[in-house]
C-alpha cells in the first residue's frame, strides 16, 4: 500500500481507485507511444504531412501546449520576482503543468523531425539568425530549469524526506528557487517570443510575415503577451478541474480571483496589440509584398469569421469578463472566460501555423488541405495521457496545493502583528 507516501493529513482516494483512474490513460499512452514508434521507425511517411504541408498537427499543438504551459513561468515571475505571495497556493501545480507541457512538446518535436538523432547539431552548428535555434536553445534550457524547480516538490514527499540528504537539499534548493524563477522567466520570455517569430519572419509567406521591432517581428511580442495572458487562465481551469475531480477544496477563494484578474489584464493588452498589428499587416505589410489582404480570407473555409473569432469572440469578450470584478467573482463566468481565452490563443496558433501553410503563394497553387493521420493524432494523445499521468501522480504523492491541508477545516483568521497584550497577568 502506498499510504506512507501520501502527505500526512491530506485525503487521497484508495490505491485501487487510483489505479482504476490511471488505467485508461495508461492505455492511451501505450497507443500513443505505438504510433510515435511507427513514425520514428518507418519515417515521416506515416504522417499525412507532405512537401506543401511541411508542418502539420504537431506544430500547432506544440505552440498551443507551450502557450498553455506559460503559466509556470508567469506565475513564478509574479510570485518570486513581484512577490505576489497569494500565488504560492498554485505555484507547485503551475510548475508541474509547465513541466508536462514543455517536456511533452519537446518529445513531439523529436518525433516530427526527419532525423531526430541529429537534434544536437542545432547546438553544434547553431544558425543564430534562425528563430528555431532560439526556440531550441531556450526550450531545452527552460526544460532543465523546470525539472530543477520540480525537484523540491518531489523531495518534499513524505517518504523521501526520511532520507537526510534529500531533506536538506530540498530545504536549501527551495531557498534559491527565486534565482531559477528569474532565469526561467528570462528563457520563456524569449522562446515564447521566438515561437511567434518562427512564422513572423517567413518573408516568403506574406500571410504570416510581420514587420518588427529590432530583431523580432511583431508576432514575437504578441506571442509573449498572449502566453502570459493564457497561462494563468489555464491554471485557473486545471485547478478547478482538479478540485472537481478530487472533490476537495485546494486553494483559498481569493486565489482564482487574482489569477483571473492577471489573465484578464494581459488578455486586454494582447487584444489591443493584436488589433493594431492586424491593421498594420492588412493595410501595409501584406499589400507592399503584392498580396492584397482580403484575398487571404476568400479561400474557403477560412473566411473573415476566423479573424473575428480570434480577436473579438475569444479575445475581447473573455478579457472584458475577466476584468469586470462582478462577473469575475462568479465561478461560471470566470471559468468560461478562461476557457474562451485558451481557445482564442489556440486558434491564433492554428491560424499562424496551419492556415499559413494552407494558403497558396504562387498564382498557380491550389488551396491546400490536410488531415492528420492517426499516427499523428496518436502521438499527440500520448502527450495528453502522459500529462494526465504525471499530474495525477504528482497530485497524489506531492503537495501541489500547500493550502490544501489548512483548508480541511476553516482555521480561525490570524492577525499578523505581535504586540504585547499584557505584561504580568499574575
340-379 footprint of other proteins as x/- string (CB under 8 A) = ----------------xx--xxxxxxxx------------
Rounded to whole angstroms, the Cα distance separating 356 from 361 reads 10
* 34 to 40, 352, 382: CA distances (angstroms): 10, 29, 9
* Cβ-contact 219, 197 below 8 angstroms: yes
The only residue of 22, 154, 173, 269 in contact with other proteins, by rule CB under 8 A = 173
Instruction: Please give the residues from 218 up to 277 whose contact with other proteins meets the rule CB under 8 A.
Output: none
Question: The cell 492517426 sits on which residue?
Answer: 374
Query: Could you say whether residue 183 binds other proteins (CB under 8 A)?
Result: yes
Q: According to CB under 8 A, which one of 83, 247, 326, 425 is a site residue for other proteins?
A: 425
Rounded CA separation 206/216 (Å): 16
Q: Cβ(81)–Cβ(393) under 8 Å?
A: no
One residue of 22, 26, 84, 132 binding other proteins per CB under 8 A = 132
Nearer to other proteins, 52 or 284 (CB): 52
Which part of the chain contacts other proteins (CB under 8 A), choosing from 221-229, 245-253, 282-290, 343-351? 282-290
Residue 9 or 253 having the CB closest to other proteins: 9
Footprint on residues 98-117 left by other proteins (CB under 8 A):
113-115
Residues 135-164 binding other proteins (CB under 8 A) are: 136-137, 141, 144-145, 148, 161, 164
Instruction: Output 332 or 362, the one with its CB closest to other proteins.
Output: 362
Residue 305 in contact with other proteins, rule: CB under 8 A: no
Asked if residues 108 and 380 have their Cβ atoms less than 8 Å apart, the reply is yes
| Residue 423 engages other proteins in binding (rule: CB under 8 A) | yes
Taking residue 35's Cβ as centre, other Cβ atoms within 10 Å add up to 22
- Hey, which residues does 212 pair with through a beta bridge? 217
Closest CA to 253 of 239, 263, 267, 266: 239
Residues in contact with other proteins, total (CB under 8 A)? 102
Rounded to a whole number of angstroms, the minimum distance from the CB of residue 118 to other proteins is 5
**Cβ–Cβ < 8 Å for 264, 328:** yes
Residue 23 vs 45, nearer CB to other proteins: 45
Q: Rounded to the nearest whole angstrom, what is the least distance from the CB of residue 33 to other proteins in the complex? A: 20
Element (H, E) at 212: strand 212-213
In the region spanning residues 379 to 418, those forming contacts with other proteins, defined by CB under 8 A, are: 405-406, 408-409, 411-412, 414-418
User: How far apart are the C-alpha atoms of 198 and 182, rounded to whole Å?
Assistant: 24
Cα–Cα distance measured from residue 374 to residue 306, given in angstroms and rounded to the nearest whole number: 26
CA R_g for the chain: 23
Rule CB under 8 A: is residue 201 a binding residue for other proteins? yes
The DSSP 8-state label assigned to residue 217 in this structure reads: E
Check: CB of residue 341 under 8 Å from CB of residue 263: yes
- Is 55 a binding residue for other proteins by CB under 8 A? The answer is yes
* 332 or 418: CB nearest other proteins: 418
Q: Does 62 sit near other proteins (CB under 8 A)?
A: no
Amino acid at each position: 500500500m502506498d499510504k506512507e507516501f501520501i502527505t500526512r493529513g491530506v485525503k487521497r482516494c484508495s490505491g485501487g481507485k487510483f489505479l482504476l483512474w490511471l488505467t485508461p490513460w495508461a492505455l492511451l499512452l501505450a497507443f500513443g507511444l505505438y504510433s510515435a514508434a511507427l513514425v520514428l521507425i518507418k519515417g515521416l511517411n506515416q504522417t499525412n504531412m507532405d512537401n506543401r504541408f511541411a508542418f502539420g498537427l504537431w506544430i500547432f499543438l506544440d505552440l498551443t501546449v507551450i502557450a498553455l504551459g506559460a503559466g509556470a513561468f508567469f506565475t513564478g515571475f509574479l510570485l518570486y520576482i513581484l512577490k505576489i505571495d497569494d500565488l504560492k497556493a498554485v505555484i507547485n501545480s503551475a510548475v508541474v503543468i509547465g513541466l508536462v507541457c514543455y517536456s511533452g512538446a519537446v518529445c513531439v518535436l523529436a518525433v516530427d523531425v526527419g532525423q531526430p538523432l541529429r537534434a544536437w547539431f542545432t547546438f553544434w552548428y547553431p544558425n543564430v539568425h534562425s528563430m528555431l535555434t532560439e526556440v531550441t536553445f531556450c526550450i531545452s534550457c527552460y526544460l532543465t530549469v523546470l525539472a530543477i524547480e520540480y525537484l523540491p516538490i518531489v523531495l518534499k514527499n513524505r517518504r523521501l524526506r526520511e532520507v537526510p540528504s534529500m531533506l536538506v537539499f530540498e530545504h536549501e534548493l527551495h531557498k534559491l528557487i527565486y534565482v531559477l524563477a528569474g532565469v526561467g522567466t528570462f528563457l520563456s520570455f524569449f522562446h515564447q517570443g521566438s515561437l511567434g517569430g518562427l512564422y513572423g519572419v517567413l518573408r516568403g509567406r506574406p500571410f504570416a510575415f510581420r514587420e518588427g521591432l529590432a530583431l523580432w517581428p511583431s508576432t514575437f511580442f504578441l506571442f509573449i503577451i498572449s502566453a502570459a495572458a493564457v497561462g494563468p487562465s489555464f491554471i485557473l481551469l486545471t485547478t478547478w478541474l482538479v478540485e472537481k475531480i478530487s472533490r476537495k477544496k485546494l486553494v483559498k477563494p481569493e486565489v482564482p480571483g487574482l489569477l483571473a484578474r492577471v489573465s484578464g489584464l494581459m488578455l486586454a493588452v494582447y487584444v489591443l496589440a493584436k488589433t493594431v498589428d492586424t491593421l498594420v499587416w492588412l493595410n501595409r505589410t501584406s499589400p507592399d509584398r503584392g498580396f492584397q489582404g482580403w484575398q487571404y480570407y476568400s479561400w474557403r473555409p477560412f473566411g473573415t469569421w476566423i479573424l473575428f473569432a480570434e480577436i473579438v469572440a475569444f479575445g475581447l469578450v473573455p478579457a472584458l469578463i475577466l476584468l469586470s470584478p462582478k462577473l469575475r467573482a462568479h465561478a461560471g463566468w470566470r471559468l468560461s472566460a478562461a476557457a474562451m481565452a485558451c481557445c482564442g490563443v489556440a486558434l491564433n496558433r492554428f491560424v499562424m501555423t496551419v492556415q499559413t501553410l494552407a494558403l497558396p503563394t504562387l498564382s498557380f497553387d491550389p488551396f491546400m488541405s490536410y488531415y492528420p493521420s492517426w499516427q499523428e493524432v496518436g502521438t499527440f494523445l500520448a502527450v495528453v495521457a502522459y500529462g494526465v499521468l504525471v499530474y495525477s501522480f504528482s497530485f497524489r504523492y506531492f503537495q501541489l496545493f500547500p493550502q490544501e491541508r489548512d483548508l480541511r477545516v476553516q482555521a480561525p483568521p490570524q492577525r499578523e502583528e505581535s504586540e504585547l497584550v499584557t505584561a504580568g497577568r499574575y
